[in-house]
Amino acid sequence: MQLLNLHNSLNLHNQFLNLHSHLHNFHSQHLNILNPILKLNLKDVKSRIGKLWREYRWKLWNEFYDPLLSRNDLIKNVPDEITMDQWALFVDYRLKPSTMEMGNRNRDIRKRQTIPHTGGAMSLSRRRENLILELGKNIGRAGMWKVTHKRKNGTYVNDEAMEIGEKIDELMLKNPETASEISPNDPIGVIFGKEHPGRVRGLSYGACPTFAFQQSTTRIRGINFASPNAASPHDEDKFVKIKNELATVKSQMQTLLAYITSKKDVPEHVAAMAAGLAPDIESGVPSPHEILGSSGGNKTP
């Protein structure tokens, strides 16, 4: 009997090791898919932080700068939340001829923008999400462009914007599927042409053509991460295969753990391994104490 129990324990132990190794290999194999996505998210967060920091500095200078004051008087007019040393460095930076020249150039560029938008402080991504929830359908770049160039009363901001809006309507009438499309061939792409690197009209801050459009060349182990609209049948098959593999592993582990729980005389080290696998399958696996209790009382000698 002791030899039989030992044999059963070794079998269970080996099954656990094999299953745990399978799960570890699965995670290691597909972790390379998740890491680049996390890096992209980190890059987007850094870009947003940089944008907010630039906006904060611009608002701070506009609030405290007075062209009639001298450098020393400007430094004395330090905001409450900033130290004198930091404020002095900031004032010197803003008064540098190169900084003032860059500011004047950017101001002139903004003046030459003939089509103002009505997006406000809300990001395009958030506005788009709200519209999708409100309308119950997907919104493409063309729809976002029209929304952000109209006043509250529904009229366009100027005649040029109205002309572009009418062109968008014509293209969407010819190809209704483009209304929810994000691609270089949607109405915005047809009207405005190729996007510049690091910017995509109608999408939120940080978007770039490489990841927004179908022709993305960024691939990870043969899987295209351009956008949900750009997923090819081959990519979808890969994701389905990954999902099925994970489901199979979880099912096997749940079956094995249920089998162990139903048995008597489960060795403590096997019960501990069973509980240790619980975080991997997220299935409410019983603790070693519960496994030992369900198999016939306390096993401690």
DSSP classification of residue 287: P
Q: Which of 153-157, 184-188, 261-265 comes out lowest in average pLDDT?
A: 261-265
Alpha helix stretches (DSSP H) within 65-115: 71-76, 84-95, 97-111
Q: Confirm if 165 and 156 have CB atoms less than 8 A apart.
A: yes
Which residue has tokens 């753990």? 257
- 127 or 13, which is more confident? 127
Spatial separation of the C-alpha atoms in residues 248 and 23, rounded to whole Å: 10
Sign of CA dihedral 283, 288, 290, 291: positive
pLDDT at 297: 44
pLDDT tens track for 80-116: 888 999 999 999 999 999 999 988 888 887 777 777 7
Most confident listed range (18-22, 168-172, 190-194, 265-269): 168-172
Q: Which of 19-23, 66-70, 95-99, 168-172 comes out lowest in average pLDDT?
A: 19-23
Token code pair at residue 238: 């890969």
pLDDT at 90: 94
Which residue has tokens 């003032």? 100
SS3 content of the chain, % helix, strand, coil (to 5): 65, 0, 30
pLDDT tens track for 24-69: 665 565 555 556 556 656 666 777 777 788 888 889 999 999 999 9
Reported confidence tier of residue 215, pLDDT bands at 50, 70, 90? very low
- 243 or 263, which is more confident? 243
Mean pLDDT computed over 280-286: 45
pTM of the model: 0.42
pLDDT at 240 over 90: no
Kindly list the domain boundaries of the chain, sorted by start residue: 2-34+234-294, 65-112, 124-230
Cβ atoms < 10 Å from Cβ of 213: 21
Mean pLDDT computed over 191-210: 67
